[in-house]
Amino acid sequence: MRWLLEPVVLGQSMERLDLDQVRARWRNLDVAIGRTITPLRFETLEIELHVHTVLANANPQMVKTIRRSQLLVIPTRSTFVALPHAEELKGALEEHIEILDLVLSGHKKSAKRALEGHVRQALEPNIERLRNVGPLPNSIRPPFLVPVDIRQ
């Protein structure tokens, strides 16, 4: 569903995006590509594109629909995997930069096509990651995830 809806919403929103904010998100990505990033930082960068940019001007019903479809995918690449794949993460960030470049240059059709490809390409690795999810190591457990003893 995401590869169908996100590009449509991006295309509808592009003329109303705050380009200064889009440039700031582009800079965040550019800095992150050259560094080792934490899973939470990666998730933040995902949200900057897929929520704060793509959904910035969408109608509330579309936002709810797309956000529900994003819930399983955005965190799985980072938070719920013991060893994030550095090359995969770098590739995703480079795709984000490409999409934002197209948005900043006003190439609507190309931006939509790049976003669709980005979302499609991420689907299979994320499904596989969910199949193989195991216990979350303490070293990458975000503070809002507290282990619970279910035997109590």
Least Cα distance to 95 among 120, 70, 132 occurs for: 120
Q: Can you give the pTM of this predicted structure?
A: 0.78
Specify the pLDDT at position 83. 45
Long-range contacts from 22-27, C-beta under 8 angstroms, 24+ separation: 22/53, 22/100, 22/103, 22/104, 23/104, 25/49, 25/52, 25/53, 25/100, 26/97, 26/100, 26/101, 26/104
Q: Tell me how far apart the alpha carbons of residues 85 and 53 are, in angstroms, rounded to a whole number.
A: 25
State which amino acid sits at residue 35. R
Q: Tell me how far apart the alpha carbons of residues 35 and 104 are, in angstroms, rounded to a whole number.
A: 24
CATH tag, 2-129:
1.20.120.530
The span from the first CA to the last CA of the chain, in angstroms, equals 39
% the chain with pLDDT above 90: 42
Summarised one tens digit per residue, pLDDT across range 54-87 is 999 888 898 888 888 877 665 544 555 544 566 7
Instruction: Provide Rg for the chain, Cα atoms.
Output: 16
User: Taking 80 as the threshold, does the pLDDT of residue 145 lie above it?
Assistant: no
Buried (b) or exposed (e) across 74-86, using 16+ Cβ within 10 A? bbbbbbbbeebee
% the chain with pLDDT above 70: 85
User: Taking 80 as the threshold, does the pLDDT of residue 93 lie above it?
Assistant: yes
Q: What mean pLDDT is predicted for residues 119-130?
A: 78
